[in-house]
C-alpha cells in the first residue's frame, strides 16, 4: 500500500495539518508533511479529524434495525422485558448474523471503528446469537473491530445449562465473560459472581458485569466484585456497566466505593441513562481517576426504540444527562466515546498519533464539541488506512 | 393559487393517501382524490406526512448559531449565567435580527412552522432584541409564525426600568407577558406576579412564566400563579414553563397542584430537562388532563451548546428523560411537539385535516416514532401551501 496523506484537517486541539499513513498505520501528524514516495492524497477540506469512535457497550444481537416497527406494549419489569425479548426472537426467527451486520454497518457509517458487544446466551437460543456474531465479525472485519462478550441476559444460575453454553462460547471465540445483576436477576450474589469470576480465571478472560441494581443493593454487589477482583489478581480487567448504584448512595459511602474501584482498577461504563434515575456521577468519577467508557447499549430493540449506533449522539446524551455545560466537562463525555473506551476494552495503540492504526473519522465542525452538537454525516471513516464509509454511507458489505 | 395535491403519503395512523390544498388551506385528505381543476402534484414517495412542528418555548435571541464557538467557562449559578450573557452581548455587539433569522431558518428547515419565542428585555440591551425580533418575524413570515414574549431575563423588580420597557414592547408588537422565578430571581413573589398579571390585564395578553424554582418553593409559586389566574379570569391563558417543582414534591401535594392546574386550565411546558434533576412527570400530567407543550429552549447560547432547533430531537429528549418505552407513551412526547403546542399557544386550526392551514412536514419513516428516532433530513416542509424547505434546506431567505 502506498503512503497516504490526509491533508487540510483540523485536529481536536485546533491545530491544522496532515496525517500520514503507511500500510494502515499513522506514521506522522503535523503542520506540513513533505511529499515522498508514491502518495495518495485526500483533501479533508478543513474538516475535523478524530480517532475512530469506540462503542464499548453494545447489544448488537438484540437490534431490530431494518425490520418492521416493533410496537412496544405490555409489562415493564426487568423480567417482563427479558421474557418478551426471548419469546419474540423465537417467534420471529430473528437472523442474528443479519441483524448484527446491520448494526455494524451503521456503526461504521457513523465512525465507530471498534466495539465490545454483548451477545445473549440462554437455554432457548443457545449459541445461535453467538454464532451469528462470529459470522458477522468476519464480514465486518474491514471496518470494525468486535469484541464478543458471553452474556447471560436471561439469568445464569436460574437457568441451568446456561453456564455450560457460556463456557462453550469462551472456548470458541468469545473474548469476555459477562454477568448481570447478581442479586436482582440471579437471586444469589455470591453464587453468580463466583461462577463468573471462576470462568474468567479458567479461560483467562476479562469480566464485564451489567449492574442495574439500585442504591445499597448495587453497592453491595460492587463490594463483592471488588473482593473477587483483588483475590484473583484481576486488577484492570473488570468493567462494571451502568452501575446506577453509584448515583444512589450518599457520601461518604460513595467515596469509599470510588476508593474500591481505584484500588482494583475497575472501570465504569456509563451511557447517560434515560429516565432521570440515579446514575454514576461521571465528573466525580473522572476527577477521582476512575477509568470510564460508554456505549450505545441496545439499538432499537424490544427494550426500547431510542438508541442509534452513533457515538457522537452518545456523547451528547452523556453530556445532557450529566448537565455538562462547560467545554471541559463536555470533553469528558467525548473522551469516554474515544480514548476512554479504547483504553477500557484494551485496544492498545489508539489516537491520531504516530504508531496508531489509522482508525479515524473526518467530520464537519469547528471542534469536537460542535461535531457532537451538530452530528453531521461523517464525511469519511477510515479503518487501518482503508476508507470504510463516505458521507454517511458504509462501504463495507 | 391552483389546487395542490400531495399524493402517496403515509399518515401517522398508518393510512396512505393524499392531501389536497386550496389557497394554502387543506381541503381534503384521504385515500383517493379525484383530480379537478388545475392541480400541481407533489409525489411524497410513501413518506410520512406530519403537521408542522410547534416550538412553544424558544429563546431565539440568545442563539450563537453561525458564530465562532463560544467556550463555556466560569461560574454556574443562575446569576452567573444571566450576567455573563448580558456582558457577552454588549461586548460582541450581537446582531439580534441576524441571530433570530439564523435560528428561524433552521427551525423551518427541520419542519417547525410556528414558535413562541421569548425575547430578553433588560436595562442594558433595552428593546434591541425585541426590535430584532420584529424585523426577523417579518423576514421569516413565509415559513414561520412567531409569537413574541416580552421576557425579563435579567430580573424585573430588581432592575428598575425593566417594567417600563416591557410595557413599551407590549404596546408595539409583543404578544405575551413573560415572567420568571418570582422568588429566586426577583426576591418578591407577590410583587413579581402582581406586576406580571397586572400587565397582562392592562394589555389583554396571555402569560408565560419560567419557573425553575425547585420543590416547595416552586410549588408555592404555582399556588400564587393559580390564585391570580382565577382572580383575573385568565383560565386557559397561562403557561408555566419548566415547572421543575412538579417533580420535586411528594403526593398528595402533587395531586393538589395538578388539581390547581386543571381548575385554572394552566398549561405546562416541559422539554425533558438535562441533568436528571426533578422534572414534571409528563405522563401523570397528561393522564390527568393537563395541557402540555414543549420547545427547544436556548439554541446553542452562552447557557450551553447542546440544543438544536429540531422538534423531532426534542420529542426524543422528552422520551429519553421520561424513560418512555411504550409506543403510547412516546406518542405523548410527540403530541407535545405538535398539536399540544398548537393548542397551548393558540394557533387555532391545526393538523392534517380539512380547514387547517397547509403547514406540514414530509419526512422518511414508517411512522412518527421512527421519524423521531432516525431524524432524517426533512424531505419537504410546507407553510400555508408554500414549500419553505426541501431536503433539509430552508428556502426562506
Interface test with B, best of A274, A313, A321, A392 (most B CBs within 10 A): A274
Topology of domain B3-51+351-394, CATH: Urease, subunit C; domain 1 (2.30.40)
CB contact under 8 A, B320 and A306: yes
Residues of A in Cβ contact (< 8 Å) with B369: 69, 305
Nearest chain A residue to B310 by CA distance is A374
Selecting from B76, B276, B326 the residue whose C-beta is nearest the C-beta of A279 gives B276
* CA distance, residue B279 to nearest chain A CA (Å): 9
> To 10 degrees, the CA torsion angle through B82, B87, B88, B90?
130
Q: At what angle do helices B215-231 and B189-203 cross, to 10 degrees?
A: 30
Interface test with A, best of B73, B316, B320 (most A CBs within 10 A): B320
When pLDDT is averaged across residues A100-115 and rounded to a whole number, the result is 98
Taking alpha carbons only, the member of A131, A132, A188, A128 closest to residue A160 is A188
CB contact under 8 A, A276 and B323: yes
Distances (CA, A) of B287 to B262, B328, B332: 12, 12, 10
* CA distance, residue A8 to nearest chain B CA (Å): 19
- Per-domain residue ranges for chain A? 3-51+351-394, 53-344
User: Residue B137 has what pLDDT?
Assistant: 98
Q: How many CB pairs under 8 A join A and B?
A: 90
* CA distance, residue A161 to nearest chain B CA (Å): 31
Interatomic CA distance for residues B158 and B186, integer angstroms: 6
ipTM of the modeled complex: 0.93
User: Residue B277 has what pLDDT?
Assistant: 87
At a CB cut-off of 8 Å and minimum separation 6, what does B64 contact?
Answer: B70, B94, B99, B300, B301, B302
Residues of A in Cβ contact (< 8 Å) with B320: 274-275, 306, 317, 320
* CA distance, residue B189 to nearest chain A CA (Å): 28
* CA distance, residue A146 to nearest chain B CA (Å): 24
Confidence of residue A161 (pLDDT cuts 50, 70, 90): very high
What's the pTM? 0.95
CB contact under 8 A, B72 and A304: no
CB contact under 8 A, A373 and B306: yes
pLDDT surpasses 70 at A1: no
Q: What is the pLDDT along chain B (397 residues), one digit of tens a residue?
A: 679 999 999 999 999 999 999 999 999 998 766 666 668 999 999 999 999 999 999 999 999 999 999 998 888 787 888 888 888 888 888 999 999 999 999 999 999 999 999 999 999 999 999 999 999 999 999 999 999 999 999 999 999 999 999 999 999 999 999 999 999 999 999 999 999 999 999 999 999 999 999 999 999 999 999 999 999 999 999 999 999 999 999 999 999 999 999 999 999 999 999 998 899 999 999 999 999 999 999 999 999 999 999 999 999 999 999 999 999 999 999 999 999 999 999 999 999 999 999 999 999 999 999 999 999 999 999 999 999 999 999 999 9
Interatomic CA distance for residues B152 and B177, integer angstroms: 9
Residue A202: CB atoms within 10 Å: 12
Do the beta carbons of residue A353 and residue A25 sit within 8 Å? Answer: no
Q: At what angle do helices A311-321 and A327-336 cross, to 10 degrees?
A: 130
Interatomic CA distance for residues B254 and A125, integer angstroms: 46
Distances (CA, A) of A356 to A26, A31, B67, B150, B325: 6, 18, 34, 55, 40
Residues of B in Cβ contact (< 8 Å) with A76: 325-326
CB contact under 8 A, B317 and A319: no
Selecting from A72, A304, A319 the residue whose C-beta is nearest the C-beta of B306 gives A319
* CA distance, residue A282 to nearest chain B CA (Å): 12
CB contact under 8 A, B320 and A304: no
Interatomic CA distance for residues A256 and B345, integer angstroms: 51
User: Residue B39 has what pLDDT?
Assistant: 80
Whether the upstream peptide bond of residue B252 has omega within 30° of 0, thus cis, is yes
Coil vs helix vs strand at B383? strand
- Residues of chain B in Cβ contact (below 8 Å) with chain A: 68-69, 71-73, 76, 274-279, 300, 303-306, 308, 316-317, 319-323, 325-328, 330, 366-367, 369-370, 373-374
Residues of B in Cβ contact (< 8 Å) with A370: 69, 305
DSSP assignment of A67-120: SPP----S--SHHHHHHHHHHHHHHHT--HHHHHHHHHHHHHHTTEEEEEEEEE
DSSP assignment of B284-297: HHHHHT--EE---E
CB contact under 8 A, A76 and B316: no
CB contact under 8 A, A323 and B369: no
Element (H, E) at B40: strand B39-51
pLDDT cut 70: percent of chain A above it = 98
* CA distance, residue B366 to nearest chain A CA (Å): 7
At a CB cut-off of 8 Å and minimum separation 6, what does A339 contact?
Answer: A51, A350, A351
Residues of B in Cβ contact (< 8 Å) with A305: 325, 330, 369-370, 373
User: Residue B49 has what pLDDT?
Assistant: 98
* CA distance, residue A185 to nearest chain B CA (Å): 21
CATH 3.90.1170.40 for domain A53-344, yes or no, is no
Amino acid at each position: 500500500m502506498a503512503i497516504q496523506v490526509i491533508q487540510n484537517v483540523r485536529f481536536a486541539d485546533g491545530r491544522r495539518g496532515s496525517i500520514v499513513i503507511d500500510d494502515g498505520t499513522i506514521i506522522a501528524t503535523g503542520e506540513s508533511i513533505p511529499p515522498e514516495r508514491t502518495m495518495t492524497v485526500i483533501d479533508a477540506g478543513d474538516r475535523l479529524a478524530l480517532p475512530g469512535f469506540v462503542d464499548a457497550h453494545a447489544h448488537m444481537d438484540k437490534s431490530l434495525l431494518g425490520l418492521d416497527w416493533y410496537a412496544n406494549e405490555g409489562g415493564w419489569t426487568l423480567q417482563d422485558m427479558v421474557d418478551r425479548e426471548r419469546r419474540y426472537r423465537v417467534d420471529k426467527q430473528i437472523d442474528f448474523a443479519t441483524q448484527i451486520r446491520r448494526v455494524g454497518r451503521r456503526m461504521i457509517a457513523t465512525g465507530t471503528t471498534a466495539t465490545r458487544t454483548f451477545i445473549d446466551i440462554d437455554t432457548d437460543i443457545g449459541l445461535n446469537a453467538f454464532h451469528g456474531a462470529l459470522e458477522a465479525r468476519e464480514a465486518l472485519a474491514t471496518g470494525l473491530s468486535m469484541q464478543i462478550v458471553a452474556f447471560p441476559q436471561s439469568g445464569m444460575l436460574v437457568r441451568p445449562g446456561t453456564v455450560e453454553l457460556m463456557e462453550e462460547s469462551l472456548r470458541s471465540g468469545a473474548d469476555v465473560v459477562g454477568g448481570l445483576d447478581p442479586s436482582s436477576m440471579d437471586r444469589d450474589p455470591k453464587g453468580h459472581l463466583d461462577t463468573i469470576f471462576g470462568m474468567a480465571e479458567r479461560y483467562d478472560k476479562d469480566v464485564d458485569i451489567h449492574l442495574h441494581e439500585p442504591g445499597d443493593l448495587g453497592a453491595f454487589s460492587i463490594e463483592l466484585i471488588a473482593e473477587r477482583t483483588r483475590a484473583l489478581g484481576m486488577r484492570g480487567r473488570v468493567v462494571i456497566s451502568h452501575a446506577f448504584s453509584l448515583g444512589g448512595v450518599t457520601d461518604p459511602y460513595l467515596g469509599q466505593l470510588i476508593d474500591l474501584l481505584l484500588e482494583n482498577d475497575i472501570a465504569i461504563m456509563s451511557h447517560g441513562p434515560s429516565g432521570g434515575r440515579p446514575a454514576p456521577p461521571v465528573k466525580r468519577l473522572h476527577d477521582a481517576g476512575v477509568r470510564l467508557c460508554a456505549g450505545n447499549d441496545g439499538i432499537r430493540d424490544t427494550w426500547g426504540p431510542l438508541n442509534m449506533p452513533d457515538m457522537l449522539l452518545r456523547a451528547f446524551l452523556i453530556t445532557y444527562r450529566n448537565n455538562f455545560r462547560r467545554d471541559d466537562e463536555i470533553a469528558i463525555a467525548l473522551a469516554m466515546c474515544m480514548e476512554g473506551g479504547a483504553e477500557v476494552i484494551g485496544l492498545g495503540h489508539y489516537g491520531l498519533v504516530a504508531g496508531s492504526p489509522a482508525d479515524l473519522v473526518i467530520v464537519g465542525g469547528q471542534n469536537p464539541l460542535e461535531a457532537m452538537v451538530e452530528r453531521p454525516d461523517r464525511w469519511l471513516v477510515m479503518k487501518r488506512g482503508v476508507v470504510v464509509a463516505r458521507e454517511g454511507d458504509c462501504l463495507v458489505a
